[in-house]
Structure 1
């Protein structure tokens, strides 16, 4: 926080992330109102928002490498704000239709394709390599704090004035990000030379990752943990409703407890200067074990308590994996590598969630958490075993810095 540019960015993110979580709640409520409670329509809306990431996610990383990141973020944030404003106007005037929500959700997904890898890699340009792990952890703390505050505010506003004003508030919240980006001192950014436009840059990024066995190992673990271990919106809902027979308020409390653990994990991660592959492997394994223990808790009170350390382990894994990925690649390749990382991280959930839901239906609600934890632990053990002895040993000991000074993955 001693970095002026990062302070401006973080302040804008506090406001904007809260608005984004408010819109997620309002968008779900609007589509349910328009379709008279159709769960299928709600699923389509969520799917359309993720679809661009699956289709074009890798191209977002190419753009992040090719153009100035600060300028890209100003464009993507402005587009997101405009989409929220349009949806708010449609809702306020009573002209919103289901296809409007579908189209705007897809448009938001397209903007996110470019925004995600750019925002991830812009962190190192703001604070430099030495404070990158700290910045990623603080970003996670901001995100998870907004995850608690945003839906609570949205629920009150929707009850008082409806969904339309919530979208307008979110549109206005992007102004905080744009103002922060505008006020940044460009001469204090750690800007690297841009990658010139050329053919085959996407293939070049994929080939680079394929040749880096440590990055392949990291991505495989991220895929399995994200696909099977991180579906808490579904698994905690099943546990709350079907196992402990509690209401919607109790489900909200479970989400809050997990978020409290996530914020705590983010703040603890912010104390670490250098991310280590070894810490990522340990955190992923501990997360899996804690998720299994959460799934077998005999009563709701103990279940809630176990969600806190589970959230800590999860965010330790997330922030460490993100930082290791960024610091282990040269600056000219970072955008494409993080585009692939975000594709694996965010795009794996739509793949694993339906399978995990089916397994929970067949074997019982507890199995959702237990299976997710088992898969997470097995992914760590399996990847290390398959890639041992050479790759596993390299991952567990310090690596030398790369030529650009940003390649430490010890």
Structure 2
């Protein structure tokens, strides 16, 4: 028996070990197709929003609406998902999202899109996504062997990032050739393709007793909260995940202003920054299984510490006199930062799958994702307030130093030794 347990606990680190995980590979295929469409949609939809609203504040409001279902609804959606077949939820939500995106494209073609319609469609899409994310998370243990969580998460993240790079790199050309509505129709098509792929997945989902009304739902939600509170490792992981998201907020919130005002760059630099960051994340995800000799805690803390130090150095880049060298240094720093973030993502995802019981994975996943998502708008508000009182490079310096100290403190948390 001891020998058997030892074999089961031995973690796989080679991508070749996934060749017999055919159902999980189908899931990766669906995720990759989705990611390609989403990366096109991210640019096309933003362009349409600004074109229709002609207002930065309205654009920000519509984008903010995107967070509401994630933060408020997803924890409850996770409870519901735990009680019904995950595969069915994924298929229906992908079809629903495809229909909504296609509707926006068709309305745009007929000059019938209004800011209210965009806000409503954004809310509906995010609501469906609030169910899709915990379902996609909860189905993984039914498709992937426990000892392959790290390498499985790494492959999924790597391929998704590669498709994101392709989407970001081709978005401009796609929009120029077939318009923003054409890019949205491609995104809608990827949702439909994803739903077809998911229908071919064979998952061992045992039927459960369905939730019996609001009281049962909130009771199970409370069970999920108690599960998190009773697990010191999960609480520590939530804090780590929030720090990781906080670390990305300054670049997403202030990156454009920094590039234009401080680096004196243009749209090309903004595009290069995005490609460098995502490329680094893909590389970081890919190499994570190879770093098996380093403890997961040490690896995660080091990557967070290093990326925070790099962010604090943004205050120095505008001092480089030659513009080309200034841009090369910036893009290089973003690529290296992406590597560290990619490693953190894989370590976090694999640890979460290992330490959360399958029976509560949907609801705990919903709680976790809502908590981590809440860190983004909160961080953006803090960055906005800071930028009103100090120069943007100084904001990066302060944020970087703050995160460095947080990671140092988290390095002393004993519960993270099991990461």
TM-score by length of 1: 0.88
The CA deviation at 1:271 is 4.0
The CA deviation at 1:272 is 5.9
Residue of structure 1 equivalent to 2:13: none
Distance 1:232 1:181 in 2: 34
Q: Helix, strand or coil for the counterpart of 1:245?
A: coil
Identify the match of residue 338 of structure 1 among 349, 365, 372. Answer: 365
Residue of structure 1 equivalent to 2:323: none
Residue of structure 1 equivalent to 2:313: 293
Identify the match of residue 168 of structure 1 among 185, 205, 209. Answer: 185
Range moving further from structure 2, 354-363 or 197-206: 354-363
Q: Helix, strand or coil for the counterpart of 1:162?
A: helix
Distance 1:142 1:205 in 2: 31
Unaligned ranges ≥5, structure 1? 386-391, 397-408
Identify the match of residue 103 of structure 1 among 104, 120, 123. Answer: 120
Q: Helix, strand or coil for the counterpart of 2:98?
A: helix
The CA deviation at 1:156 is 1.8
Contact 1:70/1:122 (8 A) holds in 2: yes
The CA deviation at 1:203 is 0.8
Distance 1:52 1:142 in 2: 27
Q: Deviations over 1:229-281 (max 9, x none)?
A: 44422333232111111111111111111111111011112446798334323
Contact 2:82/2:361 (8 A) holds in 1: yes
Contact 1:258/1:311 (8 A) holds in 2: yes
Residue of structure 1 equivalent to 2:107: 90
Distance 1:363 1:88 in 2: 41
Range moving further from structure 2, 104-113 or 14-23: 14-23
Contact 2:66/2:122 (8 A) holds in 1: yes
Identify the match of residue 45 of structure 2 among 22, 27, 43. Answer: 27
Say whether residues 1:46 and 2:46 are aligned partners: no
Contact 2:259/2:266 (8 A) holds in 1: yes
Residue of structure 1 equivalent to 2:199: 182
The CA deviation at 1:344 is 1.9
Unaligned ranges ≥5, structure 2? 1-17, 321-325
Identify the match of residue 166 of structure 2 among 149, 153, 158. Answer: 149
Residue of structure 2 equivalent to 1:323: 350
Distance 2:334 2:247 in 1: 16
Range moving further from structure 2, 314-323 or 361-370: 361-370
> What is the alpha-carbon root mean square deviation over aligned residues?
2.2
Identify the match of residue 197 of structure 1 among 203, 211, 218. Answer: 211
Matches within 5 A, 1:190-269: 191=205, 194=208, 197=211, 199=216, 200-269=219-288
Contact 2:69/2:130 (8 A) holds in 1: yes
CA separation of 1:361 and 1:137: change in aligned 2, threshold 3 A: farther
Q: Helix, strand or coil for the counterpart of 1:362?
A: coil
Distance 2:308 2:81 in 1: 33
The CA deviation at 1:227 is 2.6
Contact 1:133/1:273 (8 A) holds in 2: no
TM-score by length of 2: 0.86
CA separation of 1:15 and 1:229: change in aligned 2, threshold 3 A: closer
The CA deviation at 1:294 is 4.3
Residue of structure 2 equivalent to 1:399: none
Distance 1:351 1:393 in 2: 28
CA separation of 1:261 and 1:336: change in aligned 2, threshold 3 A: same
Q: Deviations over 1:375-405 (max 9, x none)?
A: 32222233455xxxxxx23422xxxxxxxxx
The CA deviation at 1:27 is 1.2
Distance 2:206 2:289 in 1: 24
Say whether residues 1:381 and 2:401 are aligned partners: no
Residue of structure 2 equivalent to 1:9: 27
Range moving further from structure 2, 158-167 or 314-323: 158-167
Residue of structure 1 equivalent to 2:129: 112
Residue of structure 1 equivalent to 2:297: 277
Residue of structure 1 equivalent to 2:6: none
The CA deviation at 1:83 is 0.7
The CA deviation at 1:205 is 0.8
Range moving further from structure 2, 166-175 or 275-284: 275-284
Residue of structure 2 equivalent to 1:123: 140
Identify the match of residue 416 of structure 2 among 391, 395, 399. Answer: 395
Q: Deviations over 1:162-190 (max 9, x none)?
A: 2222221111111221121112233xx5x
Q: Deviations over 1:114-136 (max 9, x none)?
A: 11122123222221211112222
Count residues in correspondence. 388
Distance 2:104 2:73 in 1: 24
Distance 1:45 1:150 in 2: 22
